[in-house]
Amino acid sequence: MWRSPGCSHWCRRRQVYGQAMPFVANYHTHTFRCEHATGDCLDYARVAAAAGLAILGFSDHTPLPDGRWDDMRMSLAQFDEYEAAFAAAQRAFPQMRMLLGLECEFAPEYAGWYRDEILGRRGFDYLIAGCHYTPHDGRWIQSFGRLNTPTYLKAYARYTIQVMETGLFAFITHPDIIGCSYADWNDDLTACAEDICAASAALKVPLEINSYGFRKPWVPSAGGERPAYPWEPFWAIAARHRVQVVLSSDAHQPEDVVAGYDDVAAIRDRFGLVEADLSHLGSTSGVRGPGSGVA
């Protein structure tokens, strides 16, 4: 189903990024600690500063207290070091507004950890939620490519809404990763998108248009090859619900901090979507707690 990363489409897209208009703010970047990214906070900050980014948010994959899914996230032992690396980048580029965050998986047993330890004691500026796994019938289903039945789509929508209802997360990352599981749009996808977008609008939790999908292998479909996400039919439904959006690069390497702005901005504009105001992030978080690794 996937194109090889060496395909001509993929390479052509990548060449565009060097000329693309940059993001003004990007709240979705990673570091080497998650085990599938490269570079540290300072490397990302250098690229952001050179591109004239005003706001840079770090949102590496959160450590979890029980070590679940430990092959795609930092360990608890790296937590203080992540905060220290953020503080060093902040010191190096004092003119840039930098925010310290995490990209999280939600399960009810983690609610206290996110609220009391990370946002509370450690004083992180924000959390974002990426529903990379979907709970169903007592197990977790990979959301990237395994949501291939109506039942699983319903479970994904139900879970994403539950995550929004917690009020813990500034926005939902790539809600349209359902595009990894299907070649073409269908009525079950419409129902899934309708439910997620209605909840987003009602709960006022923005949804992210994520440019990483443009840099991943594209998916063959009846209308030609397309990125697995962003998937335009989803955003047409989002527009009808007047969902607010966040544009992000989801950078997993420093050179991608401002990658793909033109692509995600084009989707925003094609459907008349409005960007969420996230200027409140960081303004309510206090001094980071003792032992947090940040002075």
- Closest contact distance (angstroms) between CB of 225 and Zn ion is 23
- Closest contact distance (angstroms) between CB of 37 and Zn ion is 6
Token look-up 């990548």 returns 14
Residue 102 or 239 with smaller CB distance to Zn ion: 102
- 3-state class (DSSP) for residue 219: strand
Residue 103 or 188 with smaller CB distance to Zn ion: 103
Burial of 248 (0-12, 13-18, 19+ CB in 10 A): buried
List the one residue out of 13, 23, 12 whose CA is nearest residue 51.
23
- Closest contact distance (angstroms) between CB of 59 and Zn ion is 6
Residue 188 or 256 with smaller CB distance to Zn ion: 256
- Closest contact distance (angstroms) between CB of 287 and Zn ion is 27
Q: Which residue's CB comes closest to Zn ion?
A: 250
Helices then strands, each counted (H, E), the chain: 9, 9
CA distance 65 to 86: 21
The encoded tokens of residue 132 equal: 């990379």
Residue 43 or 103 with smaller CB distance to Zn ion: 103
Residue 188 or 263 with smaller CB distance to Zn ion: 263
- Closest contact distance (angstroms) between CB of 147 and Zn ion is 18
Residue 173 or 181 with smaller CB distance to Zn ion: 173
Residue 103 or 195 with smaller CB distance to Zn ion: 103
- Closest contact distance (angstroms) between CB of 130 and Zn ion is 6
**Contact at 8 Å (CB) between 216 and 263?**
no
Going along the chain, which residue ranges are E strands? 25-26, 55-61, 97-104, 126-129, 133-136, 139-142, 207-210, 244-248, 274-275
Angle at 152 between CA 149 and CA 158, to 5 degrees: 145
Q: Where are the alpha helices (DSSP H) in 179-294?
A: 187-203, 212-215, 232-240, 261-270
- Closest contact distance (angstroms) between CB of 256 and Zn ion is 11
Which positions touch Zn ion (CB under 5 A)?
103, 250
Longest dimension (CA), the chain: 56
